[in-house]
Structure 1
Amino acid sequence: MLVQMVHIEVKPGHVDEFIEAFRINYEGTRKNEEGNLRFDVLRDPENEHKFMIYEVFSSEDAFQAHRQTEHYKECVRRIDPIITGPRTKTYFNAEMADYLS
């Protein structure tokens, strides 16, 4: 199981646009990708422009397939101009979690 955490900071005045772009990715992933086990879009309560995306995939192959989907590519296309810098990503293997079974 692969966990990806993506940290993103959105430029001022673009938060609603960012949320709508990520809704496309979220809905496409949850509805159409069996290999996605969890997908959370989290917002920093102390800075409304900072987000963390928490995604869990059943395998590396499922994760790589996700990156080839149209909903992922459309989201990236929309958010790249409205974020303050590159998205930072951290990866983990899930050893114990409620969704393992």
Structure 2
Amino acid sequence: MFSLVVQVEVHPGRREEFVAGIAANAEASVRDEPGCLRFDVSAVATDSNRFFLYELYTDAEAFAAHKASPHFARWREIAERVLVPGSQVNTAGELLTTHASEESA
């Protein structure tokens, strides 16, 4: 499985717009893309303008389909307004093992 961790910084005063935009993108990704298995958005506890995303796809082709989707294009328009330029760091990988409780979201 293809995994992606994304770290971003949001302009001060743009947090709510970021959260709404990324939540819509995450929801549509899991709902509309058969290859998107997980899309988590987390806030950094010590900095209200920093976030990280964890995305899981069946394979790299599913991630490529994600980047070609209409909801991703809408997200990129929002990202242009809310993200600090140069702050996004993407780390792609391969999921090797996972464990979750029944209470996991």
Matched, 1:8 2:8: yes
- Structure-1-length-normalised TM-score: 0.92
How many residues matched?
Answer: 99
- SS of 1:92's equivalent in the other structure is strand
Structure 2 portions without partners, runs of 5+: 101-105
Corresponding letter in the other structure for 1:72: F
Tell me the TM-score normalized by structure 2.
Answer: 0.89
For 1:45 and 1:11, how far apart are their aligned partners in 2? 17
Aligned equivalents of 2:82, 2:97: Cα separation in 1: 36
Query: 2: CA distance between counterparts of 1:23 and 1:72?
Result: 11
2:103 is matched with which residue? Answer: none
State the distance in 2 between where 1:82 and 1:65 align. Answer: 24
Q: Once superposed, what is the RMSD of the aligned Cα atoms?
A: 1.2
Partner of 2:84: 84
Which structure 1 residue ranges, 4+ long, deviate > 6 Å from structure 2?
A: none
1:46-61 correspondence runs (5 A): 46-61=46-61
